[in-house]
Amino acid sequence: MASTTDLMAGILLLLLMASAPATAQKAPLTPSPSPSPAPAPAPHLVNLTHLLSVAGPFSTFLRYLQQTDVISTFQNQVNNTDQGITIFAPTDAAFSSLKKPSLANLTRDQLRSLLLSHALPQYYSLAEFRNLSQRNPVTTFAGGQYTLNFSDASGLVRVDSGWANPRISSSVISTDPVAVYEVKNVLLPVAIFGAAPPPAPAPAPAPDLTKPSDLAPSAGEAGGSSSPRSANSPDGSSSCRVDAGTVGYFLLALVGEMMLRL
């Protein structure tokens, strides 16, 4: 008796497992009549918000641009000027690797200036940076002391904010009014953060982070309580048995109910 019910339960389970993926696969295929994409009525204007949200991982940069409404300033330059715009877009990794001077304590005006200093109020193709390097320091969209220096070492073009000088290599877009170049560092301006520290060969200080102090007590607790727990091994094994028992019981109940329905 027991063996036959086991067999039937097994068959039922097999049937269930076999049928489940089939229905799951059918489901996504059936709603194939997707809404047909409407033909874009917009003119040639680049939508910077859209561009930055689909290109690269620039979500942090875009979020800051939206927070400060600098995105409107940039978009306005695209919309209403002949000069166009050149934007240096730091990747999400560039923001997440920022530690020493963090952006957390900047005033709104400072943050706005920092973001504006990631753009030039004119379109520059990659080839034109060669000429720009002869006009250092180049005033950014933020104006005043917010400048960038460009260098061109036999085709290797870099942009230098004083704190960072990433390569300008990959262009997200470079079509006359709009150029967006991906950069691997946030261009921290000297005008906000002061003179950059000399490039030391990474002594890795970082003494007062909150994380180590938070982790230390919990690690100590875990270490202290782990030895008593291992001594009281019956606790662990009994909980395992209970789990296995409940699972088995649940399965049997499920199968039994289904057999009743059949």
Ligand X SMILES: *[C@@H]1O[C@H](CO)[C@@H](O)[C@H](O)[C@H]1NC(C)=O
Residues that bind ligand X (CB under 6 A): 42, 45, 47, 49-50, 53, 72, 75-76, 79, 102, 104-105, 127-128, 131, 136-137, 149, 160, 162, 190
Query: CB–CB of 187/161 below 8 Å?
Result: yes
Min dist CB 113 to ligand X, Å, is 15
* Closer to ligand X by Cβ: residue 146 or 255: 146
Q: Say how far apart CA 114 and CA 109 lie, in whole Å.
A: 9
Minimum CB–partner distance for residue 31 and ligand X (Å): 23
Q: What's the full length of the chain, in residues?
A: 262
- The residue among 56 and 162 lying less far from ligand X, judged by its C-beta, is 162
> Smallest distance, Å, CB 32 to ligand X?
25
- The pair of structure tokens assigned to 148 is 């960038």
Q: Which residue blocks in 30-107 are alpha helix, DSSP H?
A: 48-54, 59-67, 70-80, 92-96
Closest contact distance (angstroms) between CB of 55 and ligand X is 12
Contacts of 166 (CB under 8 A, 6+ apart): 94, 158, 159, 183, 184, 185, 187
CA-angle at 145, arms to 113 and 153, nearest 5°: 100
- Nearest distance in Å: CB 53, ligand X: 6
DSSP H or E run through 171: strand 171-175
By CB atoms closer than 10 A (0-12, 13-18, 19+), residue 21 is exposed
Cβ at position 23, least distance to ligand X in Å? 35
**Closer of 181 and 255 to ligand X (Cβ):** 181
Closest distance to ligand X from the beta carbon of 250 (Å): 47
- In the bound state with ligand X, the residue whose beta carbon lies nearer, of 155 and 228, is 155
Q: Which residue's CB is nearer to ligand X, number 9 or number 133?
A: 133
Pinpoint the alpha helices (H) of 98-209: 108-116, 129-132, 190-193
Say if residues 162 and 196 touch (Cβ distance below 8 Å).
Answer: yes
Q: Closer to ligand X at the Cβ: 54 or 222?
A: 54
Backbone angles phi, psi at 20, to 5 degrees: -60, -50
Residue closer to ligand X by CB (options 148, 255) is 148
